Homo-oligomer: A and B are copies of this chain.
Amino acid sequence: MRTSQLFTKTRKDAPADEEARNAQLLIQAGFIHKEMAGVYVFLPLGKRVLDNIAQIVREEMNKLGAQEVQMTVLQPKDIWEKTDRWDDKKVDNWFKTKLVNGTELGVGLTHEEPFVDALKDYIGSYKDLPLFTYQIQTKFRNEKRAKSGLLRGREFTMKDMYSFARSEKEHLELYEKAAKTYAKVYERLGIGESTYRTYADGGIFTDKFSDEYQTLSDVGEDTIYVDEAKGIAINEEIYNDENLAKVGLKKTDLVQKKAIEVGNIFPLESKYTDALDVYFTNEKGEQESIIMGCYGIGISRLVGVIVEKFADDRGLVWPANIAPAQVYLARLGEDDAVVKAADELYEDLQKAGIEVLYDDRDVRAGEKFADADLIGLPYRVVVSAKSLEHNQVELKKRTSQEVTLLASKEVIKHLKGSE
């Protein structure tokens, strides 16, 4: 895409009404627009990042054999009353609304109940299980405060998956299979090395632990204790001698770190399936409880986490797999030769399947370099009269200061090789 065809622009200063660095930078670079606190519009570049993350998550869930569906935002009261999660005193962050006739509705904040209810028509026999199903959906939580940008929104995009198993043993097999998939997702997102599967509180339904996926970050709301050799961690909230013994971690091997949650998986036992009267019939014809697991990944939150994690004092830094494009192509000057060479390289890069943001504006070099840094694509390529003297262009990684001079053709080879 040419910058002249992109309707967003960067701005010189961070917005005054944002405390969170992720929102400040994303607004400054034109990736998002603040509709209200905790509620953000994704503009063209931001939408691409969001879609790239969603697509990686979708591909990995599909490989796991999970079936994608789309639940509804509007929620009927009855299924939530059965699990005692309707009353505002029980769940304090519902948004609620009403039909014209006065019937109260919920605005979906999570989807355990509707998933179980929708499966009711399809699960009867042991032959119908086990299964994984998931959605990538907009969710709504009526947070009292929303000052963390995309890290904790009132409206946000989430992938939520559920497993349904015939026994505790089968549940554990699915659970560990999903955990492997989660590791793969974070690896593909470019945060694999700094994301730890972390023992955490199992919540009210189980005496087991849940697993959080925590990414190391200075702005993290959580404190975790990491065993770097084992590659796992334990959340401060359950950090005591008894629990350490249970999970086989030793105090002396652990390092305290700040981290932010980027996903979680947890056992739901049969709380929801029992409450909504969904059972299966085993091979002997007996009715049994269905054991459920829940697997969340915050898609829009990940945009914020990745900004916080990689951004530097010059702007955003996107991992290649989720960047809105791979190359920021800047032409310096409006000389015919420069324009021609840059236009040709733009075409050639696209033909080679490399996504480019082509800065074809007639502005100073300094402004182009500042925007390239702020927007944070993995590579910057510069075409100038000076570089063309030797039939070359300049290539620079966003994360490095080193500038390499290369022939145009070599740029494509270099970029394809580095994928």
Contact = CB atoms under 8 A, between A and B. Distances in A.
Contacts of A74: 35-36, 39, 95, 140, 154-155
Contacts of A131: 7
A177 to B, nearest CB: 15
A8 B122 contact: yes
A241 to B, nearest CB: 39
A33 interface: yes
Given A65-B5, A95-B97, A35 B138 contact: no
A69 B97 contact: no
A7 B100 contact: no
User: Do most interface residues of chain A lie in helix, strand or loop, or is the interface mixed?
Assistant: mixed
Interface string A10-27: 010000000000000000
A107 interface: yes
A344 to B, nearest CB: 21
Given A74-B140, A121-B33, A69 B96 contact: no
Contacts of A142: 99-100
A126 interface: no
B69 A43 contact: yes
A72 B7 contact: no
A351 interface: no
A166 to B, nearest CB: 14
B40 A69 contact: no
A118 to B, nearest CB: 4
A67 B39 contact: no
Contacts of A69: 41-44, 47
A161 to B, nearest CB: 13
A198 interface: no
A70 B48 CA distance: 10
Contacts of A41: 69-72, 114, 118
Given A9-B121, A41-B71, A73-B155, 4 more contacts: A35-B72, A39-B72, A41-B69, A107-B107
Interface of A: 5-9, 11, 30, 33, 35-36, 39-44, 47, 50, 65, 67-76, 93, 95-101, 105, 107, 114, 118-119, 121-123, 128, 131, 133, 138, 140, 142-144, 154-155
30 contacts: A6-B67, A7-B67, A7-B122, A7-B123, A7-B133, A9-B122, A33-B118, A35-B76, A35-B118, A40-B72, A41-B70, A41-B71, A41-B72, A41-B114, A42-B69, A43-B69, A44-B67, A73-B73, A73-B140, A73-B155, A95-B97, A95-B98, A96-B97, A97-B107, A99-B154, A100-B143, A100-B144, A101-B144, A107-B107, A138-B138
